[in-house]
Structure 1
C-alpha cells in the first residue's frame, strides 16, 4: 500500500469541501489533478453536523467523497475524504468538551463522535460490498474533517480489518492519550498529521486531550493566527504548503508532548511566555506533568461519566495540592503565571482559591478556543 503524496492528500482534503456545492466535482481544479489516478463514487458521504440546531433537527449535509485508485500506484486502494465546517465551531469551542465512547472503546470528543456516527452506516454499506478482499483505505481530512478522519480510521480498522493510512491537515485533538495510542496502532503508525505552527485549531481541545505523537510542520511561523488554518488560501494555506513537498520525508517533523515528559515552569520567568503555539503546548505539558506528579492524571483521564466537568476537575486538582507541598505550590504558581502571561496579563495577582484558579484556567481556555473558533469560521 503506497502513501499518498502531500499534494494528493491535500487535494483530496480540499475536494471534500466541494461536495457541498451543487456543481459536479468534475468542474473543480482538485478533481482534474486527481482524475488520472482515481475514479470517484457518484454518491457523496452524508452526515449530520455537530451544530446544535442541526443535531436537533438531524439536518443532513454532504460531508465528503470516496475515490478508488485506477491502474497504477494506487490501483484498488480507496480514499475517504472528509470535510470540516464552520457550523461545528460551537462544538470545538465548547469549554465543557463532552465525551463519548468511540469504536475502539476510548473516550473521545462527543461532538466529533456524533457526527462520525451519523454517516457510519453509509460507510458500512459501501465497504461491506468491497470487503471480499483486504481493503486498503486512505482517510483524509482538514480541520474538523481531520477529527472525523481519526475516528473513521479507527472504525475501518476495527470493523473491516482494513489497512489504513491517515492524513490530516490542521486537525483538532480528538481524544485522550489512550485514543492517540490506539490510533497509532490501528494505522501501524502510518499517520501524516500536517500542521501550520501558527494554526490554533491543532491546539484544541486542550488538556487532557492529546494528538498522535508525530506531526509534519508545513509552515513554521509560530505566532498564532486564525488565517493559518485555511485549506485553500495562499496565506499560507495547507493546499499551497503541502504541494511544495514531494514526500513527507522532506517536511520538518515535530512531536506532540507525551505525558511522561517533565516540564516545569518558573513563575519568575513568566515574561518569556508569548502567545505562540510553542508556549501553548509547553503550558499544557507543564500541567500534564503536575497532574501526573500529584497522582491526579489517571483519575481525570478515566473519569468521563460526568462529562462536563473535566476542567473543573483540573482546577480542583490544582487547588487541592496547594497545602500539601511547597514544591506543588511553586508548580501551580508557575503554571498559572504562564497562563496569565500567554493571555496578556503577566502582572495580574494570583490567589490560590478554587474560584481564582478556575478563572485563570477558563481565561486560558477561552483565549485559545476563541482563536480556534475564528479559524474555523474562516475554514476553506
Structure 2
C-alpha cells in the first residue's frame, strides 16, 4: 500500500471527529478542543479553521465553522489535510431532491450543484491562502476528507487543488451526495485517477442517492469491481442510522482499502437495465431500486437524445429547469420509434409502481404534466427519507 494514502479507519475517524465543531458553543473553546481532538495527527493553529456559507435558495444563509485546513505532523509530516463536516439545519434535504435546483460552473468549468458550489466558493479564499504555505512546509501529499455534505465540498476542494497546485489530491468521502453532472465526474476522474478517489457508502444510506440524475457520483463506476467502495448493509430499505459516521467507522473497522472494494452484487449494465425496465413485476421503494431507477433514467434519456440528434452535454445546460428539460425529453421520446417509446413508458410505470400506484399507463396519458408530477412525487418521497436521516444524525451531533 502506498504510504501516502490515509488508512480507511484513519480517514473515517478524521471525518467523524471533525463534528467536534458542531459541539462548540463558545468560540474561545474552539482552538483548545480541536487541538486536543487532533493532537496526534494535525498541527492546529487559529488559521486552521475553515468557515463556509450554506443554505438553499429561499433560506437564510449562515456562516459556520465547517472544518479544518491543517498540516500533518508525526506520521503525517509533509501532508496537508482539508477535513470538512456536514452542515447543521441550514441545508434542507428537499433542496437536494428538488429537480428545479440551479447549476453553476466548477473550477474546471463543469456543471455542478449550485448549492454545493456556492458553499465551496465561500471557502475558496481560505483554500487559496492554505495553498500558499505548501512550498514552505514541504507538502508533498494533500488529502480531502468529508462526510455527507462535507464529502460533496471535499470533492470540489479536490478539483480546485488539482487545478491550482502541482499535487494530485487524495479524496475520501463517506455517505456523500452527488456533486455534478457526468462531464464533471468524468473530468475529475480523469484528472485525479481512480486510485486517488475513495467514495465509501452504505447500501441503505439514502443521502448518496441524491440529487437525482443528471447528477452522478465521481469517480465514474466504469471500473466498479476494482474501485467501488460500496458497503453492504442489512436490508434494502433506507436505514436512517446508516448515514451516521459512527456506522461508517464500525463498518470499516480494521479493513484495508483492498478489503473494502468489490462488495457490490448488483451490476447495472445495459442488458440488466433493459431487463429491469421490461420486468412487469411490481417494485417497491428501496435504495437498490432507486439505483436501478437512476441508471434507467440515464439510459432512457440517452436513447431519446440520440434519436433526437441532441448531445447529452447540451441537453441540460439551457435556462430551463432540470425538471422541465427531463419531462420534455421523455415526452418527445414517447413520440419516437416504438422501441424508445416503450422504454419511456416502462420507465414511468416503474416509478409509478415504486410510488405505490398501479403501473397502468397508456401513451396518450403520458403528458408533459403527468411525467412532471410523477418525478415530483418521487422526489418528495426520497426527500422525506433523506430528511429523516439528517434529522436523526443531528440528534447524534452530526448533520448534513
TM-score, normalised by the number of residues in structure 1: 0.88
1:67-122 C-alpha deviation (Å, 9 max, x unpaired): 322233x3210111001123212532333121000101100000000000001101
**1:108 & 1:208 partners in 2: Cα distance?**
10
Alignment of 1:145-156 (within 5 A): 145-156=150-161
Given that 1:99 and 1:307 are in contact with CA atoms closer than 8 Å, whether structure 2 keeps it comes out as no
**1:81 & 1:257 partners in 2: Cα distance?**
32
Q: Does 1:39 align with 2:43?
A: yes
Instruction: Name the counterpart of 1:84.
Output: 86
Q: Does 1:174 align with 2:179?
A: yes
Given that 1:136 and 1:162 are in contact with CA atoms closer than 8 Å, whether structure 2 keeps it comes out as yes
Structure 1 residues 4-13 or 369-378, which shifts more? 369-378
Instruction: Name the counterpart of 1:245.
Output: 254
Given that 1:93 and 1:373 are in contact with CA atoms closer than 8 Å, whether structure 2 keeps it comes out as no
What's the secondary structure of 1:88's corresponding residue?
coil
Given that 1:197 and 1:277 are in contact with CA atoms closer than 8 Å, whether structure 2 keeps it comes out as yes
Instruction: Name the counterpart of 2:348.
Output: 336
Distance 1:268 1:346, change over 3 A: farther
TM-score, normalised by the number of residues in structure 2: 0.83
Alignment of 1:1-380 (within 5 A): 2-20=4-22, 21-22=24-25, 23-24=29-30, 27=33, 32=37, 34-43=38-47, 44-52=49-57, 59-72=62-75, 74-85=76-87, 86-89=89-92, 91-132=95-136, 135-189=140-194, 190-211=196-217, 212=219, 213=221, 214-221=227-234, 222-232=236-246, 237-242=247-252, 244-253=253-262, 263-264=273-274, 269-295=279-305, 299=311, 301-304=313-316, 306-307=318-319, 309-347=321-359, 349=361, 351-379=365-393, 380=398
Given that 2:199 and 2:229 are in contact with CA atoms closer than 8 Å, whether structure 1 keeps it comes out as yes
Distance 1:257 1:369, change over 3 A: farther
**2:127 & 2:277 partners in 1: Cα distance?**
51
Point out where structure 1 has 5 or more consecutive residues left out of the alignment: none
**2:190 & 2:330 partners in 1: Cα distance?**
33
**1:95 & 1:288 partners in 2: Cα distance?**
15
**2:353 & 2:114 partners in 1: Cα distance?**
31
Q: Tell me the matched-pair count.
A: 370
Given that 1:12 and 1:81 are in contact with CA atoms closer than 8 Å, whether structure 2 keeps it comes out as yes
How far did residue 215 of structure 1 move? Answer: 3.1
What's the secondary structure of 1:66's corresponding residue?
strand
Please identify which structure carries the higher helix content.
Answer: 2
**2:314 & 2:384 partners in 1: Cα distance?**
27
CA-atom RMSD, angstroms? 2.7
**1:245 & 1:261 partners in 2: Cα distance?**
37
